[in-house]
Amino acid sequence: MTNNEPQTSPSGYNSAGKQNVLIEVKNLKQYFNIRSNLGKKAFVKAVDNVSFNIYKGETLGLVGESGSGKTTLGRSILRIYEPTSGHVIFSGVDITRLKKGKLLPYRKKMQYIFQDPYASLDPRMTVSDIVGEALDIHNLTSSKKDRVEKIRELLNIVGLNSEHASRYPHEFSGGQRQRIGIARAIAVEPEFIVCDEPVSALDVSIRAQIINTLEEMQERLHLTYLFISHDLGVVRHTCDRVGVMYLGHIVELVESEELYRNPLHPYTQALLTAIPEPDPEVAKKRNRIILKGEIPSPVNPPSGCKFRTRCPYAKDICAKEVPEFKEYKDGHYVACHFAGKI
């Protein structure tokens, strides 16, 4: 940051009252090479030309059906998957252009919390090894004693205790394992964390506890989150803004409450139809859309608007032209030829 730039408060607002962008995603594509049934080469267009910003200090939700590309997008932003094309600009630096050797400082700033806390923890490592490994990779301890102390502190922060340090992952409950995953992620003092369905694998009764822990971490460490979830109910209360993905595209992006009050994209309207709305006034205004058919294959997606084959409002133009993802009004982005008219 140069001295001329407005100062950022921990909340992410600068002195001009505008939110600072932490990450710019520009025209990001992630195509996976596969072989089709006939042995021909083909691509899965898992993320297809996606552009959006993530503001400092916010929780940005990402929702969409299974296979819509949420995990792939999260991993491509962190370069866990090398993007096929496009840019990810972190604090002004295009990390997609950095050589592997120059990427390590950014690996430290950006972390990932996995959906399945069991599969993501090495069963042969103790909790101390798991959290300590993250500290070691980035040289974050000054002595053995400091290392032990830091691990203890991290376990305390996430609601575990120091006796847990010498135990193995299988000795913990699902919620506790997810706490280990969180401790590992925050060990390196990141600025940004992709939380990929961090509570979906957990018992309903402990989901709120883990979400609370994530929220506490965010406040304490001034973190920015990309929060991936199937559950529109969880996203509503956890996220400041929400992006809706469909077949590799973000089709709508707006502040959470506005998404629930005034969904513009028919796909978002369909997703919301499926969840109960406690406010009768909001429920009355909502278009009820029941989706027909299955999500098409990302290998051979429909022309034009990818949602058109399931959209009750589709017209000729929808097959011919890809709708631009643009600001409809005041930070409400949508990709639909008929936004505001349906």
Ligand X SMILES: Nc1ncnc2c1ncn2[C@@H]1O[C@H](COP(=O)(O)OP(=O)(O)OP(=O)(O)O)[C@@H](O)[C@H]1O
Binding residues (CB under 6 A) for ligand X: these are 32, 34, 44, 46, 64, 66-72, 230, 298
Q: CB-wise, 70 or 306, nearer to ligand X? A: 70
175 binds, among ligand X, Mg ion, none (CB under 5 to 8 A by kind): none
Q: How far is the CB of 248 from Mg ion (least distance, A)?
A: 13
Residue 164 binding target from Mg ion, ligand X, none, CB below 5 to 8 Å by type: none
Bridge partners of residue 193, in order along the sequence: 111, 225
Q: How far is the CB of 61 from ligand X (least distance, A)?
A: 13
Rounded to whole angstroms, the Cα distance separating 315 from 236 reads: 31
Q: Considering the complex, state which of residue 154 and residue 226 has its C-beta at the smaller distance from ligand X.
A: 226
Write each residue from 42 to 71 as x if it is in contact with Mg ion (CB under 5 A), else as -, in one continuous string.
-----------------------------x
In the list ligand X, Mg ion, none, the entry touching 46 (Cβ below 5 to 8 angstroms by class) is ligand X
> 126 and 165 in contact (C-beta within 8 Å)?
yes
Please report where in the chains the tokens 């203890």 appear, as a residue: 152
What is the closest distance, in whole angstroms, from the C-beta atom of residue 297 to ligand X in the complex?
Answer: 8
Residue written as token pair 């002004």:
92
Q: Which tokens sit at 333?
A: 């982005």
Measured from the CB of residue 113, what is the shortest distance to Mg ion in angstroms?
A: 12
Output DSSP code: residue 73: H
Q: Which three-class secondary structure state does DSSP give residue 87?
A: strand
Least distance CB 27 / ligand X (angstroms): 18
Comparison of 30 and 71: residue with beta carbon closer to Mg ion:
71
Q: How far is CA 20 from CA 16, 217, 280, in A?
A: 10, 20, 36
By a kind-dependent CB cut-off of 5 to 8 A, residue 72 interacts, out of ligand X, Mg ion, none, with ligand X
Of 226, 225, 220, 108, residue with least CA distance to 158:
220
Q: Dihedral of CA 68/70/73/75: which sign?
A: negative
Q: Given the complex with ligand X, which of 50 and 214 has the nearer CB atom?
A: 50
Q: Which two tokens stand for residue 37?
A: 């049934």
- Name the minimum Å distance from CB 177 to ligand X: 19
Widest CA span in the chain:
68
Residues that bind Mg ion (CB under 5 A): 71
